[in-house]
Structure 1
């Protein structure tokens, strides 16, 4: 078992974090390789990091049995884009804020390393989205969501939705979010979209600030194809993929979106489940009045 480590080198104390992760892996006699972006800090390396192997991120992904993305959800989404072509399973160690997708922190990862050693973990295949703009041969990819919006302009855009060639609606809005179940707890959730279990084969459409009360989020089968026709009073329309990769297209724009043939493979501890993460990270289903009362009684 070889573990690939891809860090976000912009994170504070990243050298100390990677040193701790490497120490945990070596304690379990697990082989590892680190992305060579860390060599920027070689002057700060302890002996254990000096003795480690470094490769370009492409080779880390290609030759590893599992990839550890170190940073936060944004870092993990960036890594997922690179991992996607190789089908290498990956997990995230969160040293940022929420860390919903990157479910491990350093403490829980230290326990998980023992599970890796004993092959006691779960690999979950997550649906991804593929999109084509204006009939181009270039395919766009997203694990969380594809956002089509007005960009920096103040005027709303006009969006027409078709599903499997069937007309759905035309409306004006700031934009629309097309999300996977994985992305349902991200930007889509903040616009009133539903939380969707990652085991559901579904695609959600969540309008952003629609200028009508009759437009609401829509849940579709992942086997359906979504076709969006977008017009803007200004020249450009923005498309954002996972909040990571942004492009601008001339208006009018046609976007065809479907389920990608390639899933993203995420690694999870066998001791946790999706709903536990929902409760712990988003406090879903928890009565804050009860929690606050308990805190008041303690103090």
Structure 2
């Protein structure tokens, strides 16, 4: 990768969500004047045989960034065109700043690790979470969780096993804690547990967790329905992804802006 000097020879790819093709074309028209845009691809399409690039600009929301991160081994820069945009640090009306940052390669590397989710000999990788969830017409399920420090049982509609990255996603909506991205842990959060005292469990990232369900349930990895399963194992993966952020980015500002967490209510308070 080019890291120093003028960035006019820097090569970029663009990935976008179909609903935001108009915004993606705006980004393309701006960037092609200054840089070598080597591919322009809709995020749900195969990413086979793409030319090498220094980074991928992703136009859309968090789902678009997630899909792209699973398909490329390149740093990703999110340009928000969706709703929350936790993974996006620029907006389509901030392209002038993006161009300046690209020229100077003035970014902070935000590295995130993934979960490895295994079932029936198949390995999958989750940046946000792995969800075990019963069908709507299915009876409540017993989940037996095994790990080095013992066992836990949940009588619930499902379980969400999330990374620190995913702690501000589905797990948060279920009442789980927010973990900072550099925390070496993941969490298990039950969905609609029978016992109201049941809360999220935060466990070390060194653990290998095995979950057995009393009946087949849906396995959903980062929002994608994978299969019906009765057992999975979950551990920290060696895989990491890199999001390129503006130098001024910090996680606390992001969650204040996106969900209002930790934000001052009154000036001077």
1:148-167 aligned at under 5 Å gives the runs 148-164=132-148, 166-167=149-150
Task: Give the strand-richer structure, 1 or 2.
Answer: 2
Contact 1:6 1:57 in 2 (8 A): no
SS at the partner of 2:175? coil
Q: Is 1:137 aligned to 2:106, yes or no?
A: no
- Cα distance in 2 for partners of 1:273, 1:5 equals 24
TM-fit CA distance, 1:33: 2.2
CA deviation after TM superposition for structure 1 residue 4, in Å? 0.7
**Shift of residue 249, structure 1, vs aligned partner:** 2.0
- Partner in structure 2 of residue 101 of structure 1: 87
2:59 to 59, 66, 70: 70
- Whether contact under 8 Å (1:35, 1:56) holds in the other structure is no
Who is 2:3 aligned against? none
- Once the two structures are TM-superposed, the CA of residue 96 in structure 1 deviates from its matched residue by 1.3
CA contact (8 A) 2:16 2:41 kept: no
**What's the offset of the Cα at 1:206?**
0.8
Q: Distance in 1 between matches of 2:42 and 2:166?
A: 28
Q: CA–CA distance in 2 between the matches of 1:220 and 1:151?
A: 27
Partners of 2:234 and 2:30 lie apart in 1 by: 42
The aligned residue for residue 201 of structure 1 is: 184
Tell me the SS of whatever aligns to 1:57.
coil
Q: CA deviation at 1:205?
A: 0.8
What is the root-mean-square deviation of aligned Cα atoms in Å? 2.0
- The one of 236, 242, 253 equivalent to 2:222 is 242
TM-superposed CA distance for 1:168, in Å, is 2.4
Match of 1:115 in 2: 101
**Do residues 146 (structure 1) and 151 (structure 2) align?**
no
Going by fraction, where is helix more abundant, 1 or 2?
1
1:35 maps to which of 14, 27, 40: 40
CA shift for structure 1 position 260: 1.0
Question: Would the aligned equivalents of 1:148 and 1:237 in 2 still touch at CA under 8 Å?
Answer: yes
**Distance of 1:286 and 1:36 partners within structure 2:** 37
- Kept in 1, the 8 Å contact 2:14–2:41? The answer is no
SS in 2 for 1:261: strand
Shift of the alpha carbon at 1:159? Answer: 0.5
Equivalent pairs, count: 257
**Cα shift readout 1:42-82 (whole Å, capped 9, x = no counterpart):** xxxxxxxxxxxxx963334x611101111111111111111
Indicate whether 1:59 and 2:42 are aligned: no
> Of 25, 44, 48, which aligns to 1:19?
25
Residues 272, 37 of structure 1: CA spacing in aligned structure 2 closer, same or farther, 3 A cutoff? closer
Counterpart residue number, 1:79: 68
Residue pair 2:128, 2:165 contacting (<8 A) in 1 also: yes
Question: TM-score scaled by structure 1?
Answer: 0.80
Q: From the superposition, tell whether residues 177 and 109 of structure 1 become closer, same or farther in structure 2 (CA, over 3 Å).
A: farther
How far apart are 1:287 and its partner, in Å?
A: 4.5
Pair 1:176-2:162 in alignment: no
